[in-house]
Chains A and B, each alone.
Chain A
Amino acid sequence: MMTFKIIAPELFLVACSIFIFLSALFVKNRKTFSIFAILGLLITGVWKYSLYGRGFGLSFSVDPFDVLGSWIIILIAIYVILISIDDLVIPDTSYGEYLTLILTSVVGMLFMIGSRDLIVLYLGLETLSLSLYILCSFYRRDELSSEAGLKYYLMGTVATAILLYGIALIYGATGTTNFYEIAKSLSTAKVVSDPMFIAGVIAVIVTFSFKSSVIPFHAWTPDTYQGAPTPITAFLATAPKTALLLAFGRFFVGSLIPIWVEPKTAFIVLSILTMVGGNLLALSQNNIKRMLAFSSVSHVGYMLLGIIVGTQAGLNAILTYLVAYAVMNLGAFGVVFMLKNGDDMNTYNGLAKRYPYLAGIMMIFMFSLAGIPPTVGFIAKFQLFLAAVNGGLTSLVIVAVLMSITSAFYYLRVVMNMYMKEPTVEAEVVSSDFTKGLVLSLSIIVIVLGTLPSIFIH
């Protein structure tokens, strides 16, 4: 019974989601539900603090790193719930399901982060993915939304199938699915050169690349991002990335270090492709959600640097980056969400004239995404590059830096549209004051963490 204690917070969250799902049959009040869900998430997060340790053999563990990762996800989920409260496109009748799905996806992600075993990782990933498939197509009558869900579903299931296959192969070669055991078994030369094992690792890398939209496995990303409801796009762009990078990063760095040279080469190639491709594709987008989608692809490319370094310091840098990335992306998507027709680039033309504050906030997010100080985006990039240079990846950092210049083009374009163009279509803010406050506070966080980064770097 004691072993269950370590996953008690996750189980509690499952209970919460079931409760919300059932009570949604009788109660129709969005606010009550939302508050309940948020409370559930907060309790889960606090609970995790008291639970450092391991359980289920060595399959699941909680350390400060995991807790921090979990908190990023929980806070993202809370933010998404908060901005969805007054989103009338999500009908009252299905709001309970909407929350349930968000909570279950969080459960999946928490499992992923805590996993030290490929099977647990797989279970978490599937729980997450199934919820997300539905969330993406939540605007049932909207063609784009259905397309988003379908595309994500088709690509995603193939990816998870590949993962399962890979796990089987790794198990076949090493006789275990546990991260530590795999690392141990790699000390024998037989396993290292076993084609079965190599194929298994490749399968895991491919799945990871699919799920975190690493180029060339990114094809689903822009369509899914564009079609999904904006709060879900924000969710999709941030939370699963956190879980994926931390969980898979832990696998790569934790298990494969004895043979790190080959995976490293693969990741270097993937990282360059992702940085270059993501940025170049983002350049030509006229839909801001698609632009942000491609830009998020490129950000994963930067974060891969942390994995390539192959050290705990690299993973720590990723964690910092993820915090920054979540704040600025949620903020940017928040602004998109606040505007009627917010995903059309033309909506932003001359926005500064009608909504100077909103434009100012969006500008802060754009500069942060481009990595210009004094924003959190700069500090995050700096941390990551620092770890990478320390790991001897100077030339890769130069690529990253050159791509940052490219990214400045499209981020600045939004700023340009807002400040330097005349309005062509009427922009209209459709959200409540509460959402405005939320997004505003994110912009303040971007600046505060950008000037006083020691608050979150430790």
Chain B
Amino acid sequence: MNYPILSLTLLVPVIGAILILFMKNSTLIKSTAMVVALIDFFISLPLWFLFDKGSHAMQFVEIHPWIPLINAQYAVGVDGISVLFVLLSTIITVISISVSWKAINKKVKEFFIMILLMETSMIGVFVSLDLLLFYAFWEAMLVPMFLLIGVWGGPNRVYASIKFVLFTFAGSVLMLVSILVLYFTGGHTFNILELTKLNLPVNMQIFLFIAFTLAFAVKVPMFPLHTWLPDAHTEAPTAGSVILAGVLLKLGAYGFLRFSMPFFPEATMIFLGLLQVLSVVAIVYGAFVTLKQTDLKRLIAYSSVSHMGFITLGLFTLTQIGMLGGILQMINHGIVTGALFCLVGMIYERTHTRQISDYGGLKPTLPIFILFYTFFTLAAIGLPGTNSFMGEFLILCGAFLRYVPLGAFAVIGVLLGTTYMIWLYYRVAYGNLNEKIKDLIYDLGPREIITLIPLLLLVLYIGFQPDVFTSYMQASVSNLIATKFSSAMAVHTLPLVGWIR
């Protein structure tokens, strides 16, 4: 491996976007976007094969001076936590281009440019080893997402896009101030690895932790900062929802792992209880609100609030098993919810309605659609053998280890989750075919099937072989716990992990 894999994955989409800028024919634009995304996916694949799972160090590192005057660097690299997310981003981009193939008819050129720019900024966030670079990618992401929601979204898109931008922008600018403070206390460096080694005074940690965590909590989103999510999800075009669910929401949780916890371990311990409670509230509250949704997309959006609650709960158990579960669940949620949004998008393309009451009786009429729909519903519920089962199980283990009531409440969320998914499934698949949509529906075509198959395979792969995935993260997670939270956590590195390995 002698070529800069990470820089290439960052650069290829930008080049693709620039090429598309000069194209006129919409088929050509779509094909170019697809080819570029596929190339990017194949460029990122070696990360999977060449990654050294035994090490917690950053790998594939590239460092070049960026703004020498203030010692900011173009520094990229991946560890066991971020490597999977880079791959997830490249896969999700391919899928979101595929689902947009027919759905996007206006401003085609701009749409695919935005998707590709989105890809670069997402990957950039995961691979940055320089705080300033990280922040630049983090903020740059707002631009394409703002337009994706605001231009190609549903009827209420303008409101949703503004809400999205202002929530996330407001969340993250405070982080900017904290970054500056860190820069000066850390001895004029933005290097994340060096900053991780700092031992900051506790009161400073608390201030900085709050600022960083607010930014991440908005992105996750954690209760009570989640209100932008249902709007953004509901109004976004299918590709936008897929990217939001697939990758964007993961950035917040990733931020916790990469910054909040290692930079401010003492502050993390101080706020741990609060964050755990908020996670559980998100699980239960999110699930209850999901129960009464009447809009397909909104239902899945609210279920995301609940699922993200699981993820943050896993991370904030600060047990190895819980954290592994949390990270695994981040990927799972990206795959399963992404797939569900794809399915909703596909059916919406045909009927142009998202009201659950307009559906019903699809089972006999759309066998292929229902096949996939059943499969991903079961995956969302967490049927053993699917990926979510593994994730939820590990998170619950972690939660019970940490504090039994936490686990007990989280289990309520699992029950409610099953309820709303089954209830939704029942109303869409069974009963009589609704007259309104009778003449509109037809089954999935080859392109749509091909879009969904990789997701389906991933669900099964992770479901049956979770250790393949957890083995990537294990070294990094253990290292984080060992270096930062050893005293608090030693008890909870349990043999259970050995069981799933």
Contact = CB atoms under 8 A, between A and B. Distances in A.
Contacts of A374: 136, 140
A373 B181 contact: no
Interface string A390-433: 10001001100110110011001001100111000000000000
A257 interface: no
A386 interface: yes
Nearest to B110: A356
Interface residues of A, number: 35
B491 interface: no
B177 interface: yes
Interface in A347-369: 352, 356, 360, 367
A392 to B, nearest CB: 10
B158 A389 contact: no
B136 A454 contact: no
B176 interface: yes
A337 interface: no
Given A402-B173, A404-B173, A412-B162, A394 B67 contact: no
Given A389-B180, A389-B181, A372 B166 contact: no
**Residue among B68, B137, B173 with most chain A CB within 10 A:** B173
A401 B177 CA distance: 8
Contacts of A385: 176-177, 180
Contacts of B165: 408, 412
Contacts of B140: 372-374
Given A378-B136, A397-B177, A398-B174, A405 B166 contact: yes
A371 to B, nearest CB: 9
Contacts, number: 90
A421 B65 CA distance: 42
Contacts of A402: 173
Interface stretch (B55-63, B141-149, B374-382): B141-149
Contacts of A458: 69
A372 B109 CA distance: 23
Nearest to A357: B21
B183 interface: yes
A398 B177 contact: yes
Contacts of A415: 146-147
**Residue among A379, A402, A409, A420 with most chain B CB within 10 A:** A420
B107 A356 contact: yes
A171 B109 CA distance: 64
A352 B67 contact: no
Contacts of A356: 107, 109-110
A254 interface: no
Given A372-B142, A382-B132, A401-B174, A420 B151 contact: yes
Contacts of A373: 135-137, 139-140
B191 interface: no
A452 B136 CA distance: 12
Given A408-B169, A412-B165, A389 B184 contact: yes
Nearest to B207: A394
Contact of A389 (B69, B147, B177): B177
A237 B69 CA distance: 29
Nearest to A373: B136
B184 A409 contact: no
B345 interface: no
A419 B158 CA distance: 10
Contacts of A55: none
B158 A405 contact: no
B384 to A, nearest CB: 44
A452 B170 CA distance: 26
Interface in B176-231: 176-177, 180-181, 183-184
Interface string A441-458: 000000000001110011
A386 B183 contact: yes
Contacts of B1: none
Given A352-B107, A397-B180, A367 B170 contact: no
B176 A454 contact: no
A352 B110 contact: yes
Contacts of B177: 385, 389, 394, 397-398, 401
Given A412-B165, A419-B147, A454 B69 contact: yes
A401 B173 contact: yes
Query: Chain B's interface: helix, strand, loop or mixed, by majority?
Result: helix
Contact of A454 (B67, B147, B174): B67
A408 B173 CA distance: 12
Contact of A416 (B66, B107, B143, B150): B150
A405 B150 CA distance: 18
B157 interface: yes
Given A401-B176, A409-B166, A420-B158, A454 B135 contact: no
B70 interface: yes
B161 interface: yes
B413 to A, nearest CB: 33
B139 to A, nearest CB: 5
Interface string A84-115: 00000000000000000000000000000000
A419 B180 contact: no
B148 to A, nearest CB: 11
Contacts of B157: 420
Nearest to B117: A374
B188 to A, nearest CB: 9
Contacts of A379: 67
A454 B66 contact: yes
A372 B139 contact: yes
B120 to A, nearest CB: 10
A421 to B, nearest CB: 8
Contacts of A453: 66-67
Contacts of A409: 162, 166
Nearest to B176: A401
A404 B174 CA distance: 11
Given A412-B162, A420-B151, A454-B69, A405 B170 contact: yes
**Residue among B65, B109, B136, B170 with most chain A CB within 10 A:** B136
Given A373-B136, A373-B139, A457-B67, A405 B169 contact: yes
A415 B142 CA distance: 13
A402 B132 CA distance: 19
B141 to A, nearest CB: 10
B219 to A, nearest CB: 15
Contacts of B147: 415, 419
Nearest to A359: B110
B69 A419 contact: no
Contacts of B169: 372, 405, 408
A394 B174 CA distance: 11
B228 to A, nearest CB: 14
Interface in B363-390: none
Given A373-B140, A398-B177, A386 B158 contact: no
Nearest to A455: B67
A354 B157 CA distance: 21
A372 to B, nearest CB: 5
A394 B178 CA distance: 9
Contacts of B65: 454
Contacts of A416: 150, 158, 161-162
A382 B131 CA distance: 12
Interface in A297-321: none
Interface string A374-387: 10001100110110
A458 B157 CA distance: 43
A297 B58 CA distance: 45
A386 B162 contact: no
Contacts of A367: 143
Nearest to A413: B162
A419 B66 contact: no
Given A405-B166, A420-B161, 6 more contacts: A372-B169, A401-B173, A412-B162, A415-B147, A420-B151, A420-B158
12 contacts: A352-B151, A356-B107, A372-B169, A373-B135, A373-B136, A374-B136, A386-B183, A389-B177, A416-B161, A420-B151, A453-B67, A457-B67
Task: Give 4 closest A-B pairs by Cβ, nearest first.
Answer: A373-B136, A389-B180, A401-B173, A373-B140
